[in-house]
Amino acid sequence: MSRKLKYPPDDPRVLACRRAIKRMGGLTEVGRVFGVTPQAVYKWEVVPPERVHAMALVSGISIYELRPDLHGASPRDKLAG
C-alpha cells in the first residue's frame, strides 16, 4: 500500500527536506537527533514547522530553502530582486 503524498515530488520543499536528511546521515540519524523514530522521519514530506530551525542548524540548509512557505524568500534573494 502506497501512501498518499500531499506535495509533488519535485516541490522545492520536498527536495530540500530530502537533501537535509541525507546531509544529516539518513532517517535513523535524523530520528535520533529529534527523538523520533526513523519511520516518523520517513513520513515527513517537508520539514515540520516546529523542526525547521533545528534542521537548518544541523543540516546547514537554510530555513528559507527548507520552508519558504513559512519564512519567505531569503534576505539575499530580496536584495537581488
Query: Which burial class, exposed, middle or buried, applies to 47 when counting CB atoms under 10 A from its CB (0-12, 13-18, 19+)?
Result: buried
**Strands (DSSP E) found in the chain:** none
pLDDT tens digit at each of 81 positions of the chain: 567 889 999 999 999 999 999 999 999 999 999 999 999 999 999 999 999 999 999 999 999 999 999 988 777 766 676
- In this structure, which CATH number among 3.90.1300.10, 1.10.260.40, 1.20.120.10, 1.20.1440.120 belongs to the domain 12-80? 1.10.260.40
From CA 50, how far away is CA 18, in angstroms rounded? 17
Look at residue 4 in the predicted model and tell me its pLDDT: 82
Residue 34: its H or E element:
helix 27-34
Listed by start position, the domains of the chain span: 12-80
| pTM score of the predicted model | 0.85
Distances (CA, A) of 14 to 23, 65, 70: 14, 10, 14
pLDDT at 81: 61
